[in-house]
Amino acid sequence: MARRKKAKRRRSPKTISLLNLVESYAYASVITGGVMSNSPVGMLGLGPAGTTAMVAPGGGTPITLTSIVSDPGTSLDAMQANFMANYQGMAVSAIGIGITMKFARKLLRKPISNVNRNLMKPLGIGVRL
């Protein structure tokens, strides 16, 4: 009996897509803004706190990782209250981000391909649009 051919291993891309990074940051911004009243960078304690449009009613205080570690009970209660106040806006924003990114990729397919082929690939920096 003949031996079966092994399936070729699927390799992960060796480049980083800038558009995928932008989309991921936008989703992270929606989640951290709605749940923690903070930006993703502010949540880590690296940047200005409270730099987001979604703030819990009553002005919600921005929650950072240090506040979660120092007082988990209060922080988790505040996160739950923020989520319940903002989940509808977060859902609409997430849907809008998905639609916008899909539309932008289709609309800008040729320019993106041109930049990747003529600028990014010759540089060999491992980044693409």
Q: What is the pLDDT of residues 20-73, one digit of tens each?
A: 999 999 999 999 999 998 888 888 877 655 444 444 444 567 888 888 899 889
pLDDT tens digits along 81-92: 999 999 999 999
Tokens of 2: 């003949």
In the structure, what pLDDT confidence band is assigned to residue 13 with cuts at 50, 70 and 90?
low
SS (H, E, C) 62-128: CCCHHHHHHCHHHHHHHHHHHHHHHHHHHHHHHHHHHHHHHHHHHHCHHHHHHHHHHHHHHHCCCEE
Q: What is the mean pLDDT of residues 101-122?
A: 93
Question: pTM for this structure?
Answer: 0.78
